[in-house]
């Protein structure tokens, strides 16, 4: 049986060149499905990767009680002073707690590709910024100065939005702000933002409080002590989260939506590709009907013939899957895109065509090929030999 299978399969694959048109339909159709699936799901992988890079186990964010995002939160200056007294906070060389009161607002900037305005986060930060977030690195220009309308732009924001080159003037909140630097922060969400002095942003916003307080703990194990002290303090009404948990919650709904859309599109396209594969494989079987009937007549059993048709379908689908994954990686991997995040501001991230996505795409391709080849293969072996020889 194995000798028969080897002989029939070699004959089947050897005649693919004579059926180039039908074979190309399968390969191109499946390549399209895999390319779309992988590229759409790469949005979700890249977005989650960006959010996962944001935060550290020993960094916490404090919001007003009942707030689920910084934009809807408000802490008074007295609240921040009380938070600074909590146990478990790390203290710097100056003896002061490593804490940054922050004020988050949204400004409009034109996108480079379309010129249309989009929401960008302007984050006012405290003087302890670089101690609270040691991953921030100024890669061009300098840090903003306190009490001056200056901003530094994240590398992601600078790639996606206009007027963020050094020295550019931004008209924000009825005043001109100067871009004095560009920074990176390890590919996290803050690279999508503009950073400025918190009190200067508060003055421009005509606010006397903050959105949040971001602090560094002595160790991740101090989180429970820190949280319990704040949540049981009668002078405070706050919610305390690890920063990693906060950003994971912010990304949950959008990640789910991207996955649903990506899989939905892929399923619809896969159904179309499967019917294309069915038609092509039926045509291939019809073109080989005399060959198959002859093999059956000289003693070849049904199983090797069925297996050879399935192997042909799987080989073509595997080729299509590899081609589609390669196209997705070539044209989309590493591309910088932006989307509206949970805080109604643009989040800039890179598409990530990961090995896991490539493997998933190839599995999809083989599944389509297996379903597309099954029924033509069954038809080929069930057809009576005499009938096939008469009509061939």
Instruction: Give per-residue pLDDT as tens, 211-252.
Output: 999 999 999 999 999 999 999 999 999 999 999 888 877 777
A 10 A CB-CB count for 233 gives 15
Which of the four pLDDT bands, split at 50, 70 and 90, describes residue 325? Answer: very high
Q: Which of 141-155, 259-273, 320-334, 352-366 has the lowest mean pLDDT?
A: 259-273
- The C-alpha atoms of residue 112 and residue 121 are separated, in whole angstroms, by 17
Instruction: Give per-residue pLDDT as tens, 175-220.
Output: 899 999 999 998 888 999 999 999 999 999 988 899 999 999 999 9
A 10 A CB-CB count for 361 gives 30
Q: Where are the alpha helices (DSSP H) in 144-301?
A: 155-160, 198-205, 223-231, 243-287, 289-297
Element containing residue 304 per DSSP (H, E): helix 302-332
Does the pLDDT at position 64 exceed 80? yes
pLDDT of residue 220: 92
Contacts of 270 by beta carbon, 8 Å cutoff, 6+ apart? 33, 364, 367, 368
Q: Which of 142-156, 198-212, 272-286 has the lowest mean pLDDT?
A: 272-286
Instruction: Give per-residue pLDDT as tens, 292-305.
Output: 667 667 766 767 77
- The C-alpha atoms of residue 325 and residue 321 are separated, in whole angstroms, by 6
Q: Is the Cβ–Cβ distance between 122 and 105 less than 8 Å? A: yes
- The C-alpha atoms of residue 192 and residue 34 are separated, in whole angstroms, by 30
Which of the four pLDDT bands, split at 50, 70 and 90, describes residue 387? Answer: low
pLDDT of residue 342: 57
SS (HEC) of 347-386: EEEECCCCHHHHHHHHHHHHHHHHHHHHHHHHHHHHCCHH
Length of the chain measured in residues: 392
Does the pLDDT at position 271 exceed 80? no
- The C-alpha atoms of residue 250 and residue 168 are separated, in whole angstroms, by 31
- DSSP for 9-66? HHHHHHTGGGGHHHHHHHHHHHHHHHHHHHHHHHHHHHHHHHHHTS--TTEEEEEETT
Does the pLDDT at position 173 exceed 90? no
User: What's the DSSP call for residue 111?
Assistant: B
């Amino acid at each position: 049986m194995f000798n028969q299978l080897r002989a029939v399969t070699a004959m089947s694959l050897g005649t693919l060149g004579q059926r180039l048109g039908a074979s190309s339909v399968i390969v191109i159709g499946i390549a399209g499905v895999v390319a779309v699936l992988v590229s759409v799901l790469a949005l979700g992988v890249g977005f989650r990767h960006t959010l996962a890079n944001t935060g550290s186990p020993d960094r916490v964010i404090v919001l007003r009680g009942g707030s689920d995002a910084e934009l809807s939160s408000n802490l008074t200056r007295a609240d921040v002073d009380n938070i600074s007294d909590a146990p478990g906070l790390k203290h710097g060389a100056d003896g002061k707690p490593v804490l940054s009161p922050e004020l988050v607002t949204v400004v409009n900037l034109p996108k480079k590709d379309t010129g249309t305005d989009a929401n960008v986060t302007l984050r006012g930060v405290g003087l302890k910024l670089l101690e609270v977030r040691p991953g921030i690195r100024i890669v061009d220009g300098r840090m903003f100065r306190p009490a001056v309308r200056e901003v530094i732009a994240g590398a992601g924001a600078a790639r996606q939005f206009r007027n963020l080159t050094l020295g550019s003037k931004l008209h924000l909140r009825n005043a001109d702000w100067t871009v004095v630097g560009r920074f990176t922060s390890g590919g996290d969400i803050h690279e999508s933002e503009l950073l400025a002095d918190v009190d200067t942003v508060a003055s421009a916003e005509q606010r006397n409080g903050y959105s949040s307080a971001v602090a560094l703990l002595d160790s991740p194990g101090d989180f429970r002590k820190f949280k319990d002290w704040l949540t049981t303090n009668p002078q405070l009404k706050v919610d305390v989260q690890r920063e990693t948990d906060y950003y994971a919650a912010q990304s949950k709904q959008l990640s789910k939506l991207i996955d649903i859309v990506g899989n939905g599109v892929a399923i619809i396209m896969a159904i179309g590709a499967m019917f294309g594969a069915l038609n092509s494989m039926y045509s291939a079987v019809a073109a080989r009907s005399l060959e198959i009937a002859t093999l059956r007549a000289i003693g070849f059993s049904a199983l090797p013939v069925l297996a050879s048709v399935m192997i042909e379908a799987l080989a073509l689908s595997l080729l299509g899957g590899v081609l589609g994954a390669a196209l997705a990686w070539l044209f989309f991997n590493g591309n910088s895109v932006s989307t509206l995040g949970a805080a109604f501001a643009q989040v800039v991230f890179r598409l990530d065509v990961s090995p896991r996505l490539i493997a998933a795409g190839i599995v999809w391709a083989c599944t389509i090929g297996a379903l597309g080849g099954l029924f033509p293969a069954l038809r080929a072996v069930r057809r009576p030999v005499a009938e096939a020889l008469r009509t061939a």
